[in-house]
Chains A and B, each alone.
Chain A
Amino acid sequence: MVRKLGTAVGCLLILVWCLLPVAWIISLSFKTQESITVGNPGFLPAEGTNAGWQNYIDVWDNEQFRRAILNSVGIALIATVASVILGTLAAYAIARLEFKGKKFVLTTALAIAMFPVVSLVGPLFDMWRTLGLYDTWPGLIIPYMSFTLPLAIWTLTAFFREIPWELEQAAQVDGATSWQAFRKIIVPLAAPGVFTAAILTFFFAWNDFVFGISLTSTENARPIPAALSFFVGADPFNRPASLLAAGAVIATIPIIVIVLVFQRKIVAGLTSGAVKG
């Protein structure tokens, strides 16, 4: 009993610790600008300063913001899909084939994943301007992919290694081509890995700020995190905090949706029963 109570209290503490900033930003997004400027330290808006949905409507009415959302969704989705497809193929090759330089590929991939993002911004900025990729979607998709691919490859290689060889051989004997065996047997079985990799990639692309702000100059390709920082309003010394809060809340929604959708696919123990353990 005491033990159960302790667990509950512990969980509650952790939840509060994690969710308080989120709760606070939601609270902010429902206060009027005046309420914040005059100082309203309470969690709930003070009397007469409840903005209702007004902040959300204002943010959504902003052309730049809508455009940034579109950029972010598009860039993150394309980067995720491309990275997962490439990662799946590469990981499959690494898990199944014996070839020279296999270790090299894996260690290089890891090294790239550990490389500090900031150090690449300068060179990329120069390169992208020369190549005409500056301030375009591909200009962001490519760096996102190069940083998320290693992660995807490592995750997926681990998953593919778990899948017994015999399944694929059985499929081939049953009349499947190598490609059919891969698509109908291996990929469905590696689905948890594929979706894990997809979530990680999407997170990285969605949350990135450094590339987003350095490699874009207009709303042409500027993603949400960068766009929010450009939300200065009329007075640069008096930033519209409540509008920003509303924007931040809106920016969080797609990621929650994506996680909820993908999470259902991540079912552990999908391979149980394939072979006698």
Chain B
Amino acid sequence: MAKIQMKNIVKKYGDGFPAVNDVSIDVADGEFVILVGPSGCGKSTLLRMIVGLEDISSGDMMIGERRVNDLAPKERNLAMVFQNYALYPHLTVYENIAFPLRLAKVPDKEIDEKVRHASKTLELDEHLDRKPGNLSGGQRQRVAMGRAIVREADAFLFDEPLSNLDAKLRGQMRTEISRLQKRLGITTVYVTHDQTEAMTLGDRVAVLKRGILQQLATPRELYTQPNNLFVAGFIGSPPMNFLPATVEGNTISLPFGKVNLPPDKAAKAQGKGLLIAGIRPEHFEDASVAANADEGSTFSAKVDVVEWLGNEAYAYIPFEAPPEVQEQLTQLEKDLDGESMRTQLVVSLDGASMVAAGDDARIWVDASKIHLFDPATGENLTLERTVQDNEQADDTTRAPGGGPSEEPEITRVREGN
């Protein structure tokens, strides 16, 4: 059990390209931290530097009070679950789990006790004598976890452990990992590209882009207070809408019309010229079913396509963006591993809404939830700084293993590519 501190970690490959660039993350004892980002963002490299499979170009890696930069993996006392499980195919499940203990020269009786305990926890009892080749994906995954929990490691490291499982099993294993981590109260670093895993598992989530840490915060804060365009676009599904906008006084002009903005938000964006407004789909509503739809924050738009899902409906409204915004949005889409599509607004409407494709719908927008981004830097201009600082202070004092009390609702999983 130990905390993990990464101080200004840099990883440069032979060609000088920094795969991980100046990343500092403190993982508190017993905390569950997620490293998330699109493919090639350096999250796996960072994890492999923690465990010692990858050299650190510069910076300090501290586990507990030890600097481990130059220690071999075996001296770091960490347990890791690999993406493809990496089970030893010539050994039985029992011997696979016992392997770390055998290396540590633990007496046979103790090994037996610990392996049986681990196998009971993971419900592997009837498979102990089988070889990994005869197991299903979920069983192999559990064996890999058994191998990790059987030794008293200082921390668990997971490298996309669920990406090889089918969707249903993934959901089950996710809960299983969460339960296990909370029960053992062990420091955990977990790499994933799946934002559902990131949001539901982590005490805190670190979002990385091209080797640079974008934001390290609780899932709730990432969702409500994204630092920049990238984080805003990465977290949430369907993703946040980005619209060209200009603020004059207390009104914001969107491609569909003018909407009143709360004075404090408007103040932060005064005189900045053309901005990008970020509005989540669920912060729109069909004006006819919204309870508090006042005139000041509604606009009318022609709906292109409607996807009705029962509890809600997604309406797609295309719009034209000026070139300077368009360029930024295309780049963002590329960063997010997405395809560059035409600019359209995705609006989540109540299931009771009768809006149909081709209609001119009256849409209400919750102006208090609008984020405004600087188109040049991507920085979020409307961050509520004080709130964020409080939350961060709050976060460090929070009991280890106690996950976020309420998770934002995420209905779909963002898949890389």
Question: Chain A nearest CB: distance from B102 CB in Å?
Answer: 9
Q: With A170-B80, A276-B140 in contact, is A175–B74 under 8 Å at CB?
A: yes
B72: nearest residue on chain A (CB-CB)? A172
Q: With A171-B99, A273-B131, A276-B140 in contact, is A177–B74 under 8 Å at CB?
A: yes
Please report the C-alpha to C-alpha distance between residue A276 and residue B85 in the assembled complex, in whole angstroms.
7
Q: With A173-B51, A173-B80, A174-B103 in contact, is A164–B86 under 8 Å at CB?
A: yes
Does B100 belong to the interface (CB within 8 Å)? yes
Chain B interface residue count, Cβ-Cβ cutoff 8 angstroms: 32
Does A275 belong to the interface (CB within 8 Å)? yes
Question: Chain A nearest CB: distance from B60 CB in Å?
Answer: 21
Looking at the complex, which one of B78, B84, B89 makes contact with A173 (CB distance below 8 Å)? B78
Interface residues of A in 199-251 (CB under 8 A from B): none
Q: Which residues of B contact A172 (CB under 8 A)?
A: 52-53, 72-74
Q: Are A173 and B99 in contact (CB under 8 A)?
A: no
Q: Which residues of A contact B376 (CB under 8 A)?
A: none
Does A62 belong to the interface (CB within 8 Å)? no
Does B368 belong to the interface (CB within 8 Å)? no
Question: Chain B nearest CB: distance from A1 CB in Å?
Answer: 36
Please report the C-alpha to C-alpha distance between residue A15 and residue B86 in the assembled complex, in whole angstroms.
44
Q: With A177-B74, A273-B135, A276-B137 in contact, is A188–B90 under 8 Å at CB?
A: yes
Does B82 belong to the interface (CB within 8 Å)? yes
Interface residues of B in 14-70 (CB under 8 A from A): 51-53
Looking at the complex, which one of A164, A171, A180, A270 makes contact with B84 (CB distance below 8 Å)? A164
Please report the C-alpha to C-alpha distance between residue A166 and residue B86 in the assembled complex, in whole angstroms.
6
Contact with A along B75-89 (1 / 0, CB 8 A): 000111011111111
Interface residues of A in 130-166 (CB under 8 A from B): 164, 166
Contact with A along B360-397 (1 / 0, CB 8 A): 00000000000000000000000000000000000000
Does A274 belong to the interface (CB within 8 Å)? yes
Q: Are A173 and B164 in contact (CB under 8 A)?
A: no
Does A169 belong to the interface (CB within 8 Å)? yes
Q: Are A273 and B132 in contact (CB under 8 A)?
A: yes
Q: Are A175 and B100 in contact (CB under 8 A)?
A: yes
Q: Are A176 and B82 in contact (CB under 8 A)?
A: no
| Residues of B bordering A, CB below 8 Å | 51-53, 72-74, 78-80, 82-90, 99-100, 103-104, 131-135, 137, 140, 147, 151, 164
Q: A164-B86, A170-B82, A171-B99 are in contact. List 13 more A-B contacts (CB 8 A).
A: A164-B84, A166-B83, A173-B52, A173-B74, A173-B80, A174-B151, A177-B72, A269-B133, A273-B134, A273-B135, A274-B132, A275-B84, A276-B140
Instruction: Report 11 cross-chain contacts, Cβ distance below 8 Å, ordered by A residue.
Output: A172-B53, A174-B151, A175-B74, A175-B104, A176-B103, A270-B89, A272-B133, A274-B85, A275-B85, A276-B85, A276-B164
| Residues of A bordering B, CB below 8 Å | 164, 166-167, 169-177, 180, 185, 188-189, 269-276
